[in-house]
Amino acid sequence: MPETSNYKTKRRVIISGSTSGLGKEIALGLAKRGWTVAGFGQTKNKVKALAAELGEKHHIFQANVSCDDSIANAAKQIIEQFGPPHLLINNAAIMNSPAPLWEVSAKEFDEMSAVNINGVANMIRHFVPSMIRNGNGIIVNLSSGWGRSTSPNVAPYCATKWAIEGMSSALAQELPNGMACIALNPGIINTEMLRKCWAEGASAYQNPKEWAKMAIPLIERINAGDNGKQMTVT
């Protein structure tokens, strides 16, 4: 990955799950607003497509958030060459196939926990220490309405998002002054994950591009005084 001379002088954001859905629209929107973006995705074709769309000033990697070694290697490369992020957005998540909890296989439950919970912890483990050394930084953990309420047939997803709410609150208590961690409920958006649950009913809600117009200004306004807050895009 070539070093760029202006990366360290710009606002830097790291986004997991950046190659589709909300993560992609956050990446594109922040890039347009002057941020330098580094993002992660698992699918090679999607990684290449977003990298081409963003251009050479930004950096999109193929990495698996559920694999600690994968994130460790990517984080080391990013931090050494470009410096720590000013903003860390933990967005990567997956949804279970709707079913009563007792019908969800152990394999599916474990895979969801690995991405939705362990993946966030892996990102925090390998990026936040550099942010602490730098003396500033904002961590935004994407939660859900199902991280503050429950519904039938999505118990595994609810469990992971309630975990993110708790993780975010505890991390906020651990951070030094000048930093913040918040849990962000994005609201209801017509994404692939929502369509998995609600099928055609998802079409009644805004798409990720429309959502990003509201979400990005909110994310940019988050500061150290917001540490520990639960926020919602409305």
Residue 215: which of 39, 89, 34, 93 has the closest Cα?
89
Per the prediction, the chain carries an average pLDDT of 93
CATH of the domain at 46: 3.40.50.720
Strand order through the sheet with 12-15: 59-62, 36-41, 12-15, 87-90, 137-142, 179-185, 230-232
Write down the pLDDT at residue 6: 43
132 burial class (0-12, 13-18, 19+ CB within 10 angstroms)? middle
1 burial class (0-12, 13-18, 19+ CB within 10 angstroms)? exposed
Catalytic residue among 154, 157, 182, 189: 157
- Joined together, the tokens standing for residue 126 give 């390998």
127-181 pLDDT per residue, tens: 999 999 999 999 999 999 999 999 999 999 999 999 999 999 999 999 999 999 9
Question: Is 2's pLDDT higher than 60?
Answer: no
As a residue count, the chain comes to 234
Q: Is 7 a catalytic residue?
A: no
Q: Residue 37 is part of which domain span?
A: 7-232
What's the domain count of the chain?
A: 1
Place of tokens 């439950």: 109
58-103 pLDDT per residue, tens: 999 999 999 999 999 999 999 988 899 999 999 999 999 999 999 9
Confidence of residue 201 (pLDDT cuts 50, 70, 90): confident
Q: Is residue 99 part of a domain?
A: yes
Question: Is 220's pLDDT higher than 80?
Answer: yes
Q: Is residue 1 part of a domain?
A: no
**Where would I find the H helices in 15-118?**
21-32, 44-54, 68-82, 106-113
Share of the chain above pLDDT 70, in %: 95
Q: Is residue 11 part of a domain?
A: yes
Residues whose CB falls within 8 Å of the CB of residue 35, separated by 6 or more in sequence, listed in order = 10, 11, 12, 13, 87
Q: Is residue 2 part of a domain?
A: no
- Joined together, the tokens standing for residue 158 give 């609810």
Q: Is residue 115 part of a domain?
A: yes
pTM of the predicted model, to two decimals? 0.93
